[in-house]
């Protein structure tokens, strides 16, 4: 039996908008095992990103229980969440979010800098080579295409050797070909390194390549049939 890297029970996240309370995700029960490749799918506003952010320790949950890599982070303070992100979790975003003033190499080194790691450049170069950007390490983000930027972002997310990689619509801003390339890279990392990957996507074709799909509707997990009506 595999280890649970993520265990969520009745996970709920509420946003307060003036007097109104908005349940972005509600009563989510979820177990994710090491080496899983999970795609979270659902229509816009279904709570995909909120779920991903909560699982990725980017924001505290409102209620329920959340266990990441054996650590209970349900009521964890920001300091603990920082350490979780720094050591065990990697992030890739839809619009890449590279730091525009830093080169590809520097962007990849950034998490190591925050983790106060030694030997930053060799590890960063190794990862840039792995995503096929070995010759572009000194280029600034503005000198790169969308696909290249996302590959830098993946290298950046992996540089600290995280256990789980979170990707929010990683192909959402890319053309079909670049999107497939990115998906392939993620798939390879999952297969060869056993990296747990959790991503959100609108793209059914890419979603189908995942080992498991979680369908969300109005903040709740629903069976595929129910969800697809609304996609």
Partner 1 sequence: MKTISIAYKNLKRKKIRTVLTIGAVAVAVAVLVSLFGFDAGYQQGLSNDIDKLGYHLLVTAKGCPYEAATLMLSGGGGLRYMEDAVYNRIAKDPRVDKIMPELVSSVYNQEGGPDKRGTFALYMGIEKSYLDLKPWAKFKSGGWFSSLDADEVIIGYEAAELEQRLVGDQIFVPKINKVLTVKGIFERTGTQDDGMIFIPLATAQRIFNLPGKLTGIGIKLKDIQQINEFEESLYNEPGIQVVSLAQVRGTILNLVASARAMANSVALIAIFIAVLGVTNTILMSVFERTREIGVMKALGASAADIFKIIWTETTLICVFGGLFGVTLASLGTSIVEKIIRHTLPYAPSGKLVLIKPEFMLIAFLATVVMGLLSGIYPALRASKMRPVEAIRSGE
By CB under 8 A, name the one of 23, 71, 74, 115 that touches partner 1.
115
| Closest distance to partner 1 from the beta carbon of 59 (Å) | 4
By CB under 8 A, name the one of 101, 145, 176, 204 that touches partner 1.
101
CA distance 78 to 58: 9
Q: Which residues of 47-63 are buried (b: 16+ CB within 10 A; e: fewer)?
A: bbbbbbbbbbbbeebbe
Query: Residue 170 has which token pair?
Result: 């990683």
Residue 14 contacts partner 1 per CB under 8 A: no
CA distance 61 to 28: 11
Q: How many residues bind partner 1 (CB under 8 A)?
A: 29
The CB density around residue 30, as the number of other CB atoms within 10 Å, is 17
CA distance 217 to 227: 6
Residue 102 contacts partner 1 per CB under 8 A: yes
Q: Which is nearer to partner 1, 109 or 213 (CB)?
A: 109
For 182, phi then psi, to 5°, come to -60, -45
Residue 120 contacts partner 1 per CB under 8 A: yes
| Closest distance to partner 1 from the beta carbon of 33 (Å) | 24
User: Footprint of partner 1 on this chain (CB under 8 A)?
Assistant: 49, 53, 56, 58-59, 78-79, 82, 85-87, 91, 93, 97, 99-102, 106, 109-111, 113-115, 120, 156-157, 160
């Amino acid at each position: 039996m595999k280890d649970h890297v993520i265990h969520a029970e009745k996970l709920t996240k509420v946003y307060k908008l003036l007097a109104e309370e908005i349940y972005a995700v509600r009563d989510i029960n979820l177990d994710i095992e090491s080496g899983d490749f999970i795609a979270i799918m659902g229509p816009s506003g279904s709570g995909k990103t909120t779920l991903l952010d909560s699982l990725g320790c980017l924001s505290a949950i409102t209620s329920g229980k959340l266990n990441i890599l054996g650590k209970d982070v349900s009521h964890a303070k920001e300091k603990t969440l920082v350490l979780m992100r720094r050591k065990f979790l990697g992030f890739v975003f839809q619009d890449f979010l590279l730091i525009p003033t830093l080169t590809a190499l520097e962007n990849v080194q950034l998490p190591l800098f925050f983790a106060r790691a030694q030997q930053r450049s060799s590890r960063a170069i190794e990862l840039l080579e792995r995503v096929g950007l070995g010759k572009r390490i000194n280029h600034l983000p503005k000198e790169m295409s969308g696909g290249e930027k996302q590959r830098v972002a993946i290298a950046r997310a992996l540089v600290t050797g995280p256990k789980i990689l979170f990707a929010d619509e990683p192909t959402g801003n890319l053309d079909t070909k670049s999107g497939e390339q990115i998906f392939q890279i993620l798939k390879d990392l999952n297969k060869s390194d056993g990296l747990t990957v959790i991503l959100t996507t609108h793209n059914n074709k890419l979603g189908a390549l995942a080992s498991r799909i979680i369908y969300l509707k109005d903040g709740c997990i629903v069976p595929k049939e129910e969800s697809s009506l609304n996609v």
